[in-house]
């Protein structure tokens, strides 16, 4: 009987401890899932003349506390050569956003996708402390360049 009294006496304290642990765990999970690994801002004119040089600027940032190794490149619905084919690799950290630039020419209206892949590559970030997200590792934004 005495054992049962000890069990019932400790019960409210144990329930309070479990409740506090559960609330703390839930809050920690919310904080990590709300951060976005990649945020992209693509700037370029919507219209251009045939063979006119078009400048495209892609700003990339992250809300994660850890750094990421990223590879940024462009794809289009029609062939565009030259610097359009350049692929940039860099270290992206919360306090160090990256900006990439491309200058190219096109003769026809085209859809352009700016793509950022999170990759596993050594010697890009300091101390090789970059992480790779579990879920998605490819982010993109699509825009149309109208040639008149």
Assigned CATH for 39-147? 2.60.40.10
Distance between CA atoms of residues 48 and 104, nearest Å:
11
Give the global pTM.
0.75
What's the confidence (pLDDT) of residue 47?
Answer: 96
Range from 38-52, 54-68, 99-113, 130-144 carrying the lowest mean pLDDT: 130-144
pLDDT of residue 83 exceeding 80: yes
Q: Do 91 and 66 touch, CB atoms closer than 8 A?
A: no
Q: Do 117 and 87 touch, CB atoms closer than 8 A?
A: no
Handedness of CA 88, 89, 93, 94 (dihedral sign): positive
pLDDT of residue 89 exceeding 80: yes
What's the confidence (pLDDT) of residue 135?
Answer: 76
DSSP state of 106: -
pLDDT in tens, 3-57: 555 555 555 655 555 555 565 554 444 455 688 999 999 999 999 999 999 999 9
Q: What is the mean pLDDT of the chain?
A: 84
């Amino acid at each position: 009987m005495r054992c049962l009294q000890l069990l019932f006496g400790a019960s409210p304290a144990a329930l309070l401890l479990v409740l506090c642990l559960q609330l703390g765990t839930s809050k920690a999970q919310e904080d990590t899932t709300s951060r976005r690994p990649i945020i992209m801002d693509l700037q370029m004119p919507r219209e251009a003349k045939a063979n006119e040089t078009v400048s495209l600027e892609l700003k990339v940032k992250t809300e994660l506390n850890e750094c990421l190794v990223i590879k940024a490149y462009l794809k289009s619905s029609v062939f565009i050569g030259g610097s359009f084919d350049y692929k940039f690799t860099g270290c992206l950290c919360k306090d160090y956003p990256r900006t990439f630039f491309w200058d190219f020419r096109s003769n026809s209206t085209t859809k352009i996708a700016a793509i950022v892949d999170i990759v596993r590559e050594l010697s890009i970030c300091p101390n090789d402390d970059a992480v790779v997200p579990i879920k998605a590792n490819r982010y993109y934004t699509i825009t149309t360049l109208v040639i008149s």
